[in-house]
Structure formats: structure tokens, C-alpha cells
Amino acid sequence: MCKGYQDNPAGELHSDSRRGFLQQAAGLVLSHIGAGLLPKSATVSALDLKAVKKNVAVRKGKAKIITLLHTADIHSQLYTHDEFFVENGQVVYKKRGGLAVLKSMVNAIRSENPENTLLIDGGDCFQGGGLAALTQGRALVPLMNNIGYDIMLPGNWEVVYGKEMMLKDLGGYQAIKICANMFHDTDDYHHDDLLFSPYCTKSIGGIKIGFIGYTDPAVPKRQPPAFSKGIRFTKPIENVAKYIKILKEYEQCKMIFLLTHMGLAQQVHLANQAEVEGADHIFGADTHERVRQPIKGKHATVTEPGSFGSFISRFDIVVEEGNIKDKLYQLLEVNPDKHKQDKEMVSLIEKEREPYNAELNTIIGSTRAPLVRYYVMETPMDNLITNAIMWKFKPDVAISNGYRFCPPLVPDRKTGLAFITKDYLWSMLPINSEVKSGYVSGKQIWDWLEVELHNVFAQNPAERFGGWVVRMQGLKLNFTMNQAFTKRINWITINNTPIDLNKEYEVASCIRPGDPDNFLCRLSHVKEPMLKGIDLHQTMIEYLAIHSPVTPFIEGRVTASDAPPTLLSQLEGYGYEFF
């Protein structure tokens, strides 16, 4: 277990990474994270690690391997599910994930190196599925404890049930929790009191390593404000240098890792800031990116481990006589064809889910087309949601939030159908808010969309939010992604007619708890706001009852002049590609 934050000082960081040791290990293909990236044609396999272990220094105990395993953005996905991949330019779906498969895989890796393996989670665990929603995250706690995490970070969605419930849920975890930028903001705590330890340390493999945690400081804007009431967030840049110094100069850590939940673009931006000098690597999360080769920043490298429990990132560090010799990184798929389900986890899931089975297993509709949400600009899943809003309330424009999560749902090859359950509805729409409508001018819509596009594509990564482009029906939008703020939009149509900036349009979406009455999905100063007396889930249930099987597809509602409709990431310029 990690040692948590204390005020006692200690030593010095040595971050040099030399090649000599592993160059003797039979010509391995290595990811020299401190020195650069693998060429795209190169691959790293488990065979490389086996070759490392056969090295004389390793076998004689002179060298040891530290294994760091990282998951994030599990979003309470309990079972093996359809997962989205791009192979040779084509979308393919494979069965991946499931907590019982994940546990078996973790146990298999731990068995290779039981004394020197740490398991880390980067947040957004107990939100995003039906069981989590119906239990306010409580049912996920024993499941994660059963897997045996060592370190955990709260993500931006951990606040979804409010501050007190978040503290209770995270308090139930046996793992140590770290976060250096979440502070109490209530009268019963001092203004500078952290919710969690800012860092922890671990003596492992003959060296001491340290971890500092950060979640997205924009949580009060990204999530409904009521969720994070009583919490004050600060930017990592405000104190990261202080904690790196503590770990390096006083705690005598040989390596320093940042555990962050901020989105890939912001994490790469952070890796380039002078305040991060002295850190070795950023274990990132939030945008669900699948970083298969570490992205090199000026002061640290960055990875993200995908989402939904479909992937584990594996970072192996070779240590000889207290010195870091090399580092090996792999992104591993949680594949049920290679790892059987852990029986204990299967039983535990059944126990936690049993009181809610009837509700969660209820079928509310079906689809003939894959429901998928991986695209940045427009998705079939959100076209389905906005179709339902438009059908029920008949506004000029229907809006859905730019959610990123929810694994795909793919029709069966034999029947051509996939059944939509209430459990899956919770994955599609993790907040079941009442539908609301109001009137706004064309000019308001135009200006609002410029802000929303800037949140996704800001040239300064520090200004980007984690979500994707807001989803719409009734409105079509064309923009230039790489233009400056207020200059991105090329044209907008509403009801297939060019937008009239002086005309007022009716817009329907859902409320965000804590927003002012005249807000509608982050759109402010809405006139004649009206609650519709029905929530979004019931709207979907009614729509699917009439229209199933549905066949949503990408139809050009949102397009860019400089990006394809199948854009899968907001990070450019670092050689990264989502697949």
C-alpha cells in the first residue's frame, strides 16, 4: 500500500534512463519513454517482457522490474461489451472488458511480479451505468475493492451524487485516494483543507516512487454546478512544482508520476509546462483516449488507458542497484478470449445487482444500427436522443449534451437487432433530468455554439473542456476546426433555412441541477423557460416504444471544413491516432 501525504522531508530524484542494460537482452523492441517514441511500425509484446526477465541481472536479483497497471473511465461497465476499433480504415466491433475478465487479467499480470506490481485507477468509476445510478455508486465499491486497487483518483464524474456521497463512496475504497486540487469549500472546513491526500509514495523494487493526483479544475462548469457544491478546485499548475519538490528533495523518490483526470490535450499541455519539470510520466484519463505509444512532452510523457474496462495500460520499469535502467509501455486489451471470467467477481456482481435486475433488464426498444458515441462531432447514439426530444416536444432545435461515454451496442448478426434495456439507457443518459424548453435568438445560438466549439477545439489546450461537440436535431452546423475563437462557424441552418440572427427559436433540452432558471444545457439567458413535466428517460422510453427498431446514423448535422465526420480525437500535432 502507498504511504500517504505527510509533512516529513527527504532526498533527491534521479530520472536518467540508460539503454545499456536492456540492449543486452536479446535485441528487444523497447519504448524508451525518457528518450522518445516507438516508430509506428514497431510493436511491444509480452514476449519482450519475458526476455527482460531472462536477463542474468534480473534472474540473479541484481535488477528488478516494477509493474504499474493503469485503468480509468470504467464508468461502471460491469460486463463484457461491444467495443469500437478502427482497423485498416474500417470500423470493427469486438467483445472486450467486463470486471470479471479485468480481474482475471490483473491477477495474471500480478502473478508474474507479485511483490512489485501496483494497480492504479484514474477515476470516473462509479457513474455511467444503471447499477451505479440506482445505488449512487455504492454497489461499485465492493467490486473495485475485490479487484484490489492500490491507488485511486477521483474523476470529473465522481461528484455526480454530490460531495457527501462522493466522500462516502471513495471512503469505502481500500485503495489510497489522492488529489492535490480538490478543497473543501464549506464553513465546517478550513478553506485550504484538501478532500484527499495530495500525493502518496511507495517503496517498491528497491526504489521509492511518488504519485501526485489532479482532477479537472473545470468540473463545476463541465458538470451541473449542484454536483460539486462545497468543493473548490484549483489548477494543477498552482501547486504541482511544490509537490514535485517534496517528493524529489525530501521524500527521495527516484521517479515521480502525475495521476490526472483532465483530458489528453490538457495533459500533454501540462507535460510541457516548466512547473512539471522533475516529473517522469503522466498517467492521464478523461477523454477515453487509447494511447498505444507514450506521447512525449517537454518534461514528461503522457498516456491514457482507454475506457469502460476494455484496456489496461502496463508500464514496466527496470531497476538495477537503485538506478532506473529502462521503461517498457504497453496498452493491453481486456480480451475475454484470453482471460476467463473470475468466478468470485461474477458472484459478487450478481449479488450487488440482484435487487435491481427486474428494473435494469427491462427491454425498452431495439436498434438495427450500431449505437456508438466515439465520434467527436456527431454520433448515431445522440442523433437517436435528439430525435426523441424533437418527436416529443417539436421545438425548432433539440439539444443533447456532448457526452463521451457509453460503450457501443451492436445488432446481432443473425437477427439484425440489438435490444435496448433500461440499464443501457443509464449508460446513454447518466443524468435523468427533466426536459426544459425556452426561446433564444439566432444570435444567441450562434455565439453559444462558438463557445461550445472553442471548448472542444481551443488552440490553447488549457482552454479545452473534456466533452465533445454538443449534439443537435433541427439545426445543422458547419465550422472550421482550426480557426480562432469566434471565427469557426461557417454557416448554420435551422429547419433547413439559414439562421436568422434576429429571430427567436424554441430550443428543448434538459435541466442541469444548480444552473440558473434561464439556463438550458449551458445556453444562458433563455426566454420563457418552461419545464415539460417529463424526464429524458421517459421521453426515450416513449419514443422507442413507437419507433423501434430504430436505425440512427451520421447524417451531416455537424460538419467541419478541415476534419472528417469520423474525427475521433481532439489532439493533433503529436503523432497520436485513436484506433
Find the mean pLDDT for residues 320-329.
91
6-20, 184-198, 215-229, 481-495: which is most confident: 481-495
Predicted structure pTM score: 0.90
Secondary structure class of 115 (helix, strand, coil): helix
pLDDT at 134 over 80: yes
Find residue 412's DSSP bridge partners: none
The confidence band for 387, taking pLDDT boundaries of 50, 70 and 90, is very high
The confidence band for 53, taking pLDDT boundaries of 50, 70 and 90, is low
Q: CA–CA separation, 65 vs 143, rounded Å?
A: 28
Give me the percent of the chain exceeding a pLDDT of 90. Answer: 81
Instruction: Give pLDDT, residue 351.
Output: 98
Cα dist from 89 to 481, 553, 560, whole Å:
22, 18, 19
Instruction: Give pLDDT, residue 2.
Output: 66
What's the whole-number average pLDDT of the chain? 89
Instruction: Give pLDDT, residue 40.
Output: 30
62-115 pLDDT, tens digit per residue, is 789 999 999 999 999 999 999 999 999 999 999 999 999 999 999 999 999 999
Between 46 and 565, the more confident residue is 565
Mention the CATH class of domain 361-560: alpha beta
Residue 354 burial (C-beta neighbours within 10 Å; 0-12, 13-18, 19+):
exposed
Secondary structure class of 339 (helix, strand, coil): coil
The confidence band for 50, taking pLDDT boundaries of 50, 70 and 90, is low
Give the dihedral sign, CA 14/20/21/22.
Answer: positive
The confidence band for 47, taking pLDDT boundaries of 50, 70 and 90, is very low
Residue 151 burial (C-beta neighbours within 10 Å; 0-12, 13-18, 19+):
buried
Instruction: Give pLDDT, residue 4.
Output: 56
Instruction: Give pLDDT, residue 435.
Output: 96
Find the mean pLDDT for residues 109-133.
96
Q: Radius of gyration of the chain from Cα atoms?
A: 24
Instruction: Give pLDDT, residue 21.
Output: 29
Give the dihedral sign, CA 89/267/261/8.
Answer: positive
Residue range(s) occupied by CATH 3.60.21.10 in the chain? 3-340
pLDDT at 20 over 90: no
196-222 pLDDT, tens digit per residue, is 999 999 999 999 999 999 999 999 988
Find the mean pLDDT for residues 7-18.
30
Q: Which CATH superfamily is domain 3-340 in?
A: Metallo-dependent phosphatases (3.60.21.10)
Give me the percent of the chain exceeding a pLDDT of 70. Answer: 89
Find the mean pLDDT for residues 58-63.
72
> What is the full DSSP assignment across 20-70?
HHHHTTTS-----TTT----TT----HHHHHHHHTSHHHHTTSEEEEEEEE
Residue range(s) occupied by CATH 3.90.780.10 in the chain? 361-560
Instruction: Give pLDDT, residue 3.
Output: 59
Instruction: Give pLDDT, residue 29.
Output: 27
Find the mean pLDDT for residues 519-541.
94
Q: CA–CA separation, 46 vs 28, rounded Å?
A: 11
Residues 6 or more apart from 578 whose CB is under 8 A from it? Answer: 86, 289, 290, 374, 568, 569
Find the mean pLDDT for residues 267-273.
96
Q: CA–CA separation, 310 vs 551, rounded Å?
A: 26
pLDDT at 136 over 70: yes
The confidence band for 283, taking pLDDT boundaries of 50, 70 and 90, is very high
> What is the full DSSP assignment across 420-469?
EEHHHHHHH-SS-PEEEEEEEEHHHHHHHHHHHHHHHH-SSGGG--SS-P
Q: Among 173, 147, 154, 118, which residue's Cα sits nearest to residue 260?
A: 154
Find the mean pLDDT for residues 551-562.
97
Instruction: Give pLDDT, residue 563.
Output: 94
Amino acid in the structure at residue 285: A
- Comparing 11-15, 366-370, 442-446, which segment has the lowest mean pLDDT? 11-15
Instruction: Give pLDDT, residue 38.
Output: 28
- Comparing 14-28, 287-301, 372-386, which segment has the lowest mean pLDDT? 14-28
Instruction: Give pLDDT, residue 260.
Output: 98
Q: Among 435, 307, 451, which residue's Cα sits nearest to residue 373?
A: 307
pLDDT at 32 over 90: no
Instruction: Give pLDDT, residue 34.
Output: 31
- Comparing 11-25, 238-252, 509-523, which segment has the lowest mean pLDDT? 11-25
Find the mean pLDDT for residues 42-47.
37
pLDDT at 420 over 50: yes
pLDDT at 12 over 60: no
pLDDT at 402 over 80: no
Instruction: Give pLDDT, residue 68.
Output: 98
Secondary structure class of 238 (helix, strand, coil): helix
* Angle in degrees, CA 533, 400, 549, rounded to 5: 85
